[in-house]
Amino acid sequence: MQDTIELKTEERTPCEVWTRVMGYHRPVSAFNAGKQSEHAERCYFNEQPRGSLKRQEQRVAA
């Protein structure tokens, strides 16, 4: 017995993506083709906290 729900493409609600540009938020769908292309090429990263775990471990050990 399968308990998962599967939706057809036409049943799905489209998700509007917004991004911050020059200090304010805009929907990506309102961008021109060039800006949409730039947005698609963005790479994302996770910034480490200023006091990294390695430094915190060294302080605890001292």
| Nearest to 21, CA basis, from 3, 38, 41 | 38
Which residue is associated with the tokens 């911050």?
A: 20
Question: What would you measure as the largest C-alpha separation in the chain, in angstroms?
Answer: 61
The predicted-structure confidence for 50-62, as pLDDT tens digits, reads as follows 766 666 666 666 6
The predicted-structure confidence for 10-47, as pLDDT tens digits, reads as follows 998 989 999 887 888 999 999 999 999 999 998 888 87
pLDDT value at position 2?
66
Q: Which residue has the higher pLDDT, 60 or 5?
A: 5
pLDDT value at position 16?
93
- DSSP 8-state class, residue 5: -
